[in-house]
Structure 1
Amino acid sequence: MPELVGKTVGPVGYGLMGLTWRKNPPPAEQSYEAMRTALSLGANNWNGGELYGSPERNSLHLLNEYFTKYPGDAEKVVLSIKGGLKKGEMAPDGSRENVRRSIDECLKVLDGKKSLDLFECARVDPKTPIADTVGYIAEYVKEGKLGGISLSEVGAQSIRKAHAVHPISAVEVEFSLWATDILENGVAATCAELGIPIVAYSPLGRGFLVSATLLNQRPTANALQTGKYKKYSDIEPDSMLQHMPRFQPDVFDENIKLLHAVEDMAKAKGATPAQIAIGWVLAQSGAKGMPTIIPIPGATTSERIEENMKPAKLNDEDMKALDEMLKKFPPIGGRYHESQSALLFA
């Protein structure tokens, strides 16, 4: 079993973003149920953010409520929180003043209900050397207010610079069948060399591989074989996917071809596309030249979490077939629009 900050975590974690960062978040009771389900199934590595919502309502507020309701769960969860942006803005600020503001506010909202195991700046601030930013966060580790330091969407050189200042406990990056950058840009190799686990967000390709079951409806065998998005018009009007290059109408039909190929494998193995996708990420974990990789799929219902916690077991033949699919149907378009892409792998 993998470890983070000296604590054992399950091979699959849980992303909290969708519980608070959307136009119509799920009811609080539904979120609590989803969180309890995740924990009961072994997904005790929880990943949230100060930016996942508003300053008045984000992951920290939900976590405070959850651990007030279930105080005994606090010691079971390894909690990682992203912050380090200007308050109420999507702009990185790795200055000492803002890093301290961000961590202090996270701790204030948690109100002692749960310790902060890991803190990471959501993006590298191009105006502040990452070594300085990590040094500011390290002050809290030394004071016993924070368990460890994680990094988010950083390049190999930044990982080395940060690790030289203070041991880095995890690196969070997007990694899925639709986002394999870390296999080519040195991030995975650097983490393997330094012994740093990778936390893989959006392992389901940002919805391409999410099963098309209705909210609160228990999945059926047939329903689970299909993806949530079959055509561009299936994307919800208020979804962030509307702004992402790979989901635009001029490339959508090309990018969906990989899903169709994955669906064929899923049907043959009696699994869902999501289970194939998570199984593929887990198959990379600890492989030759690869670090430990912990996928953190997000979900707002217990049914979806139950599906995600049963990843497909993929053999060498399956992995070879998936590699061929990736070569045949490479993603078209960037992961983020141009202004945000400049901050990736900094």
Structure 2
Amino acid sequence: MTLQHRRLRDLNVSALGLGCMGMSTGYGQPDDAESLRTLDHALDLGVTFYDTADIYGANEDLLGAWLKGKRDRVVLASKFGFLPPDPARPGPRVNGRPEYMRQAVERSLKRLGTEYIDLYYLHRADPQTPIEDTVGAMAELVREGVVRGLGLSEVSAETLRRANAVHPISAVQSEYSLWTRDPEDGVLPTCRELGVGFVPFSPLGRGFLSGEIRSPDDFPEGDMRKPHPRFQGENFQKNLDVVAEVQRLAAEKGVTPSQLALAWVLAQGDTIVPIPGTKRVKYLEENLAALNVQLTPDELERVSAAFPRGAAQGNRQPPGAMELLNG
């Protein structure tokens, strides 16, 4: 099967990718067998773009095992920059120093069982390391053939400009969906201006826009969403009320809320490649069907009006993590 394709600068990828983090961490207990079935089915359905990171538990190992015999059919993205949790120093920590980047990419290549990574991201900008230094070192990987394209995640428009002046950036990855429209205020227009692709993660609002999450009790043990302000207290109910309108519009269109939400993101530009994450075949198929949903200008306007910028209640990340956004 062949899906629509889009370009992230020089990288040609399926118009929807697959976010693989949840297969290994963050969303309840991993199920490697189900995840491998989902990866196989995604490839059979024409998905070519797969996203992981060195901090996603054993996710690079899982993908490395799966990639054997398939590497030439896959555009593989990974990331570095986050450090493992340290009980003595609570909160997320980042490292963008060139020497750390070199160690990180070597570890990722070994885990992934590959000689190159198609798209290599700095996971978060390091406040202690000039972006020019980090990207300059990453550019060496391109010259060596270890990496094909460079990416940044959750950066500001200013940081993107500085980085792109050192080496062309293939893609910026940030959270973007109906309930997180922050990129529209700066980095997304800058991506369009500079010819940089944009890769939305959590395009379904961490599953909230699917309409299947009705209570905080729906989250399994160990689910990373529990401490997120948007999923707590009064915020949860207020956000649920807004999602109800998205559900109504989806029913009117004859599609699922997830498909409507993904179709809206896809309609925001042809250099936008969402990477909804799932470890289940049924959700993979539902998400890919969004590529066949065509929204008229009137429908796009109605969906945007139903969930305008700032409609979601609560910060999109817990304290500490918020400080690393828009870096």
TM-score relative to the length of structure 2: 0.92
RMSD: 1.7
Range that drifts further, 193-202 or 114-123: 114-123
Q: Would the aligned equivalents of 1:14 and 1:297 in 2 still touch at CA under 8 Å? A: yes
How many angstroms apart in 2 are the aligned matches of 1:241 and 1:273?
20
- Choose from 230, 241, 257 the match for 1:273: 257
Name the amino acid aligned to 1:257. D
Match of 2:289 in 1: 310
Q: Tell me how far 1:88 sits from its aligned partner.
A: 5.3
Q: Is the 8 A contact 1:5 1:147 kept in 2?
A: no
In 2, distance between residues paired with 1:67 and 1:295? 21
What is the aligned partner in structure 2 of residue 216 from structure 1?
none
**Equivalent-residue separation in structure 2 for 1:300 and 1:138 (angstroms):** 33
What does residue range 325-344 of structure 1 map to in structure 2 within 5 Å? Answer: 325-327=306-308, 330-344=311-325
1:1-346 aligned within 5 A: 1-4=5-8, 6-22=10-26, 24-53=28-57, 58-68=58-68, 71=69, 73-87=70-84, 90-112=92-114, 115-184=116-185, 186-210=186-210, 227-286=211-270, 292-311=271-290, 312-327=293-308, 330-346=311-327
Conserved 8 A contact 2:19-2:50 = yes
Q: Distance in 2 between matches of 1:209 and 1:325?
A: 12
Structure number with higher relative contact order (C-alpha < 8 Å, ≥ 6 residues apart): 2
Note the C-alpha offset of 1:98: 1.1
Q: State the match for 2:89 in structure 1.
A: none
Structure 1 runs, 4 residues or longer, greater than 6 Å off: none
Are the counterparts in 2 of residues 51 and 88 from structure 1 also a CA contact under 8 Å? no
Q: Cα gap change, 1:60/1:5 in structure 2, threshold over 3 Å: closer, same or farther?
A: farther
Contact 2:203 2:274 in 1 (8 A): yes
Give the share of equivalent positions with the same residue, in percent: 37
Q: 1:327 to 1:170 in 2, by over 3 A?
A: closer
Q: Judging changes above 3 Å, is the alpha-carbon distance between structure 1 residues 80 and 314 closer, same or farther for their aligned structure 2 residues?
A: same
List gaps (5 residues or longer) in structure 1.
211-226, 287-291
What does the per-residue CA deviation read over 1:129-183, in whole Å, with 9 as the maximum and x for residues that have no partner? 1111111111111111111110000000000000000110100011001100011
Alpha-carbon offset, residue 209 of structure 1 = 2.2
CA contact (8 A) 1:203 1:296 kept: yes
Secondary structure of 2:199's counterpart equals strand
Moved more, 299-308 or 5-14: 5-14
Aligned-pair distance for 1:37? 1.4
Q: Distance in 2 between matches of 1:80 and 1:133?
A: 18
Q: Which runs of 5+ in 2 are unaligned?
A: 87-91
Q: Aligned residue for 1:217?
A: none
**Does the Cα contact within 8 Å between 2:178 and 2:304 map onto a contact in 1?**
no
Residues 58-80 of structure 1: CA distance to partner in whole angstroms, max 9, x if unpaired?
22101111023xx0x21111111
Q: Which moved more, 1:3-12 or 1:302-311?
A: 3-12
CA contact (8 A) 2:178 2:261 kept: yes
